[in-house]
Amino acid sequence: MKTLNINLGDRSYPIYIGQKLLSNKEIFHQHAKAESIAIVTNDTVAPLYLNILMDNLGKNKKIIPIILPDGEVYKNLDTLNLIYDALLKNKAGRDVLLIALGGGVVGDICGFAAASFMRGVDFIQIPTTLLSQVDSSVGGKTGINHRLGKNMVGAFYQPKCVVVDIDLLNTLPQRELSAGLAEVIKYGLIRDLEFFNWLEAHIEQLVNKDSARLIEAIERSCINKAEVVEADELESDKNIRATLNLGHTFGHAIENEMGYGKWLHGEAVAAGIVMAAYMSKELGWLTAQDYLRIIQLIELVGLPISPPKISEEKFIDLMLSDKKTKGNQINLVLQTSIGKAVLINEYDPEILSKTLNHNFS
């Protein structure tokens, strides 16, 4: 097992990465001491892993399983209320521990429940998708969607630890694994050229779920994420944490327009990364050769390299409702090279227009 640490003063915590961690006694003995523990999961993950976790937590605790309906469409206020209902019905107090057992949807909503229930209770992340293992479980962004926009309601709230068990990926559908690889590639693109080179060399093994390679990719992703979060926990510097949103402004527009869940988050991000790379190339920042390298890697994963058909007007409208938008200016994370990204708000609008009208297929 590998242990990384996120150093955030009194909000510091470890990330454990390895195999068979869901049944690892020491981790849960150390981090799940509470008498009362609520496990928030969903109706896909519960039949696979809930019993293993409950058995590992021991018989002497009060365990409250909270099984939510599966899907991005349920990452909303009504579902959040189901968590509060279950906690209150079971007379949970400020000493309850919440455990998120699931992908990014469960992690985000459980984290926000932990941030807000009785003004904040402890929680642990057990991410069960690749995307949540390399991104959403680490760094403390929690929240839910609003019908007018994705992730519009939430809080920064750090977990007490993150348990990344790669064995849980054995049951993950291939399409979901590929979606997670979009966020892995993102780290190489925004700040780690060496990692991008490594990904080009090992992408086939990652797609085929080679355990050793997966552990290495997750570890390198989490190290990158940890460094970014340590430098800018609350996303207050426009050139640090905000760069994690490479491809996301375009991607969120795609997700919103298509209806949550039709395009997976990682798929929309992949198409968004290609759009950002194209725009960077057109601005003269990225070479044509590097643009092609990005497209090739994304294609090898089987991810989309072109957005669905959305008019320029609609795209702009959707992007204007993104959280990164200030006034009428759409802020975008673009590449200055492979391994370097910046958030910019001044660019030739003609180039954005060209990007939105480009035929990527």
CB nearer to ligand GLY: pick between 244 and 279: 244
Catalytic site includes residue 225:
yes
| Pair of tokens at residue 347 | 């660019």
Which of 75, 150, 220, 241 binds ligand GLY (CB under 6 A)? It is: 241
Annotate each residue in 174-193 with x if it binds ligand NAD (CB under 6 A) or - if it does not, as one string: --x--x--------------
- Asked if residues 320 and 352 have their Cβ atoms less than 8 Å apart, the reply is no
Partner whose binding site includes residue 42, from ligand NAD, ligand GLY, none (CB under 5 to 8 Å by kind): ligand NAD
Q: Does residue number 244 form part of the binding site for ligand GLY (CB under 6 A)?
A: yes
Q: Does residue number 141 form part of the binding site for ligand GLY (CB under 6 A)?
A: yes
Cα distance from N-terminal residue to C-terminal residue, the chain: 42
Q: Name the closest residue to ligand GLY (Cβ).
A: 244
Partner whose binding site includes residue 122, from ligand NAD, ligand GLY, none (CB under 5 to 8 Å by kind): none
Which of 4, 39, 121, 172 binds ligand NAD (CB under 6 A)? It is: 172
Catalytic site includes residue 219:
no
Catalytic site includes residue 238:
no
Annotate each residue in 82-121 with x if it binds ligand NAD (CB under 6 A) or - if it does not, as one string: --------------------xxxxx-x-------------
Catalytic site includes residue 141:
yes
- Asked if residues 39 and 101 have their Cβ atoms less than 8 Å apart, the reply is yes
Catalytic site includes residue 5:
no
Catalytic site includes residue 59:
no
CB nearer to ligand GLY: pick between 8 and 82: 8
- Alpha carbons 21 and 8: distance in angstroms, whole number: 24
Catalytic site includes residue 224:
no
- Alpha carbons 237 and 46: distance in angstroms, whole number: 39
Partner whose binding site includes residue 18, from ligand GLY, ligand NAD, none (CB under 5 to 8 Å by kind): none
Partner whose binding site includes residue 310, from ligand NAD, ligand GLY, none (CB under 5 to 8 Å by kind): none
Q: Does residue number 135 form part of the binding site for ligand GLY (CB under 6 A)?
A: yes
Q: Does residue number 255 form part of the binding site for ligand GLY (CB under 6 A)?
A: no
**Least distance CB 45 / ligand NAD (angstroms):** 5
Using CB under 6 A as the criterion, which residues of the chain lie in contact with ligand NAD when the complex forms? 42, 44-45, 48, 70, 72, 75, 102-106, 108, 128-129, 131-132, 135-136, 139, 141, 151, 168, 171-172, 176, 179, 265-266
Q: Where in the sequence numbering do the catalytic residues fall? A: 119, 141, 183, 225, 235, 241, 245, 248, 252, 265
